[in-house]
Structure 1
Amino acid sequence: MAKSRFEYVRTYEQDQILLPNTYIVIRLDGRGFHKFSAHYKFTKPNDIRALGLMNKAAFCLMKQISDICGAYGQSDEYSFVLQRRCRLFDRREAKLVSTFASTFTAYYQFYWNEFFPDQPLDATLLPSFDARAVQYPSLTELRHYLSWRQADCHINNLYNTSFWALILKGGETEKEAEHSLMGTNSSDKNELLFSRFGINYNNEDPVFRKGTMLIRDMAKASSATPEPDLKDEMPLQEKSKRQAEREEKRRRKAEIVELHEDIIGDGFWNESSKWLS
């Protein structure tokens, strides 16, 4: 390849390499989605179409990038968990973050008409997502991270359900609703919803209360007919390469399962090896 005297500027490019043997979580957040949701008149307090679109984009991203072993989404955010041995882009942070943000945004826009057929996107206000990468050294921290996001989902959704019930059913203004909920705890909000509006919060759709967890069902992928064992005489480097290729194929064949359940308690995590492997 021909070189020029200007090529020295490449030395200014510096890659931030994420630590090996750690769980990488790429969290995407909608950019300016408060304005975006108002512009496209999302249903309050929750719009099942918008959540379905988020889940569709996340599903497609998982299908494309096999290193994603699981993902949790709520509202306008999604967190993608990359396996500890992930070597995607040699763990370069900028490549990971930019690829996830751009690809998710592309899928979100591509499938928009499927979920909002009567509301075409306006070129003056298109959806976009930013992303960050966070590393967690062990399963404990990863579990606490996902538990934090689901707890956040519950807190926000209970507040929003109460807030919009006061406005849409109680006739209050937004300022009045804010004042009515000031200083209330979860029990207070549950009582308000039931006593004033006949709403049992526990009967609300689990996708609103608990968010969405996408996992690869590796158990089903493992049940497929195995390939012949690697020969003992195969060089170690070649054996590792073959093993990686077989694992890649197995992950791509695995079914992606959508869950709307508690991921804070032990029950979900007792099954963790099936999707974190």
Structure 2
Amino acid sequence: MQTVLTENTQTQFYTWKNYRCAYELYNPSSNDGIPLLLIHPIGVGLSGNFWQRFCRQWYVAGKRNPIYNPDLLGCGDSDMPRVAYHPSDWAKQLHYFLQNVVKKPVVLVVQGALLPVAVELVQLAKESNLIRGLVLSGPPALRLINTNTPERRHKINWNIFDSPVGRAFFEYARSRKFLRNFSIRQLFAEDEKVDAEWLDMLKAGAKNAASRYAVFSFLAGFWRQDYQDAIAQIYQPTLVVMGETASSISREGKKETPDERLAEYLSCLPSCRGMKIKGRNVLPYEETTEFINAIIPFINEMASV
């Protein structure tokens, strides 16, 4: 296992199914508090780097929990094979990571529409007691993940993206102009929060054109399956944090209010509480301090569960 040290952060690599996978480990020597396992969103230029602002501010707030921040396969410093990634693939990667690297109970903190990965991970880990609780940051409209869409449609979408047409689209999508406009239109509540740090991170993350396969897998909709029963079987304590101006990038979710979305999650998760905070769709980045303050009491409780 290769290790790179930067202050109190270790960037390490492990092998899963012959793929080289990367993760950052923050505060590795601490036994103060339950560890956090972060699941980053999928999008142009996104990887575990999405969480770096959160990790910095977490320790500024005086917390000492170890934080495991993996790059999902196809993202960041992990290998980027030319495959169609399903939520089950990433869940299996994280399950291996939990069992062989972390080896202790964690709280999952999952961003946005990567919730299906967390749902499948909970199912894989149900016998191990390695998942103590979950924090869902801006989860998608439930209607998007409680109705099956035809696998044939997913494959057609993937084949379109995995073509010269898709490559041309990715070239356009990783331009600074597109990244800024999309972030303002779909992700952030305030235009000025789309700052140079955010855009530089996305540009750097999208530099490797092979990162497009993870993005195309997300856009093809492999995550849009019926998870209704699986969500109803998540008995771990769960905190849902919704932005006051949360929106959906899908036509099906446009008319749903944040209150309605939050109420749906509260009604379907067996052990759930929820709250709204300032912000829109990328709360750990756009409203880092508010997000941290919102989840600290829950994280503290999980240490004694």
- Provide TM-score, normalisation by structure 1: 0.27
- Select the structure that is richer in helix: 1
**Looking at CA atoms only, which structure, 1 or 2, has the larger radius of gyration?**
1
